Structure 1
Amino acid sequence: MGLDPHQLRDLIIRPTLQRLGYWTEAAEELVLGTAIQESGLRFVRQLGSGPARGLWQMEPATHDDLWLNYLNSRTKIGLNVLGPYSKPDAGRLVWDLGYACAMCRVHYLRCPGVLPAAGDHEGQAAYWKRWYNTALGAGTIEQYLANWQRVMGNA
C-alpha cells in the first residue's frame, strides 16, 4: 500500500506548485501521474541497482543538470525550489516530498510545448513518455494509463 494520491495532490503537489508560481490543474495532474507511474507512490529509491530517487524517480544526473543548465540562470524559481536550504542536493529527492515534487515540475518547465490539458490522460501519458521517461526508458504510455486508472479511477 502506498501514499494516498489525493493527500499527495492536495497537501504536497498543489501547495508546492503554487509556491513555485507554476500551478495549473494540468500541471498538478501531470506531476501526480508522473509519481504514480514512476514509483507507484511506494518507492523512494529505484528498485534494483538503478540510481533514481524519490516518488518521482529522478536520477541524480538529471537533478544536477536541471540545476546547472536551467535553474542556475533562474534565481527566483531556484530559490523557491530550495526553500530554507542553501544548496541543491539530490539526496533530498528521497526524504523531501516538496523538493522532489518541485524538481519534477522544473523538469517539465524546460520541455517545449504546452502541457496537455487537465483530464487528457492520454496526452499526459504521451508527454510523460516523451519528456520524462524518454524513448530509451522502459515505461510505456499504456502502463501510465493503466496505473492512473488503477490508482485514481476516472478522476
Structure 2
Amino acid sequence: MGICAKELRHYVVRPTLKHLKMWSPTAENLLLGTAARESELGFHIKQDRHQALGIYHISPRMHRNIWDFYLAKRSELSSLVRGLASQREFLCHPHHELATNLSYATAIAWLIYCRTEKSIHSLPEDDIKGLGKLWHNYFHRHNPGSVQSFVDSYERLITGEISQSSDSRTANMIRSL
C-alpha cells in the first residue's frame, strides 16, 4: 500500500498547489489521480527498466524539459518551484528530488499539465473520466495506459479510501455505543 490519499491531499498536494498559487479542487484531484495511476500512491517510486521516478513517475528527460522549456520563461514560478527543492541535493542530484521530495515532485507533475495550456480548472472536480483524459493526453502521451485505467486507479485508491475511512468512523461510532 502506498501513501494515504487523504494525507497526500491535505499535507502535500493542496499546500504545494497553494504555494504555486494554482490551487483548485480539480487540480488537486488530477494530481491525486495521476499519483494513483502512476505509482499506486507511492507503492512503486521506480519501476524496473524505467527511468521515471517518484509517485508521479516523472522521467529525467521530462524533468529537464519542464525546467528548460517551461520554467526558463517564467522566473517567478521557477523561483517558487526551486524553493520547494532541497538546497544541496538538488544541485548534486536534481532528478532524485522527484523520488524523495513529495512537494517538489507534485509541483513538477502539475507543471507537466500546465505546459499544455489547457484550461484544467474549468473541468468539474468530480469528472474523473475527464481527468483521466487529461492524464492520458498530456501527462504520458506514449504511455500504454488507458483513460479507464486512470478511472479504475482513482476509484480504487482515492474514492475507495474515502469510503473506507467513512466506514471505519461509522464502525467506531457503533462500537462506542
**Counterpart for residue 51 of structure 2:** 51
Letter in 2 for 1:150: R
Q: TM-score, with normalisation over the residues of structure 1? A: 0.93
> How many residues matched?
153
Query: Could you tell me how far apart the structure 1 residues matched to 2:100 and 2:111 are?
Result: 18
SS at match of 1:98: helix
Which of 143, 158, 167 is the matching residue for 1:152? 158
Query: Could you tell me how far apart the structure 1 residues matched to 2:11 and 2:57 are?
Result: 19
SS at match of 1:8: helix
Alignment gaps of 5+ in structure 2: 163-177
1:122 correspondence with 2:129: yes
Shift of 1:117: 2.1
Of the two, which has the highest radius of gyration? Answer: 2
Shift of 1:152: 2.1
Post-superposition Cα deviations, 1:13-69, rounded to whole Å, max 9, x if no partner, equal 000000011111111110111000000011111x11100000000000000000000
Shift of 1:153: 2.5
Query: Could you tell me how far apart the structure 2 residues matched to 1:141 and 1:80 are?
Result: 31
**Counterpart for residue 100 of structure 1:** 105
SS at match of 1:53: coil
Query: Could you tell me how far apart the structure 2 residues matched to 1:152 and 1:92 are?
Result: 24
Shift of 1:150: 0.7
**Counterpart for residue 73 of structure 1:** 73
Query: Could you tell me how far apart the structure 2 residues matched to 1:82 and 1:119 are?
Result: 31
SS at match of 1:70: helix
Post-superposition Cα deviations, 1:102-150, rounded to whole Å, max 9, x if no partner, equal 000111111132113200101000110000021x211111111111111
Letter in 1 for 2:68: L
Query: Could you tell me how far apart the structure 1 residues matched to 2:35 and 2:118 are?
Result: 21
Letter in 2 for 1:132: F
Which of 116, 126, 129 is the matching residue for 1:111? 116
Letter in 1 for 2:107: A
SS at match of 1:148: helix
Where in structure 2 are the equivalents of 1:9-20 lying within 5 Å?
Answer: 9-20=9-20
**Counterpart for residue 143 of structure 1:** 149
Shift of 1:85: 3.1
SS at match of 1:90: helix
Alignment gaps of 5+ in structure 1: none
Which structure features the higher share of helix residues?
2
RMSD: 1.5
Bigger mean CA deviation after superposition, 67-76 or 108-117: 108-117
Q: TM-score, with normalisation over the residues of structure 2? A: 0.82
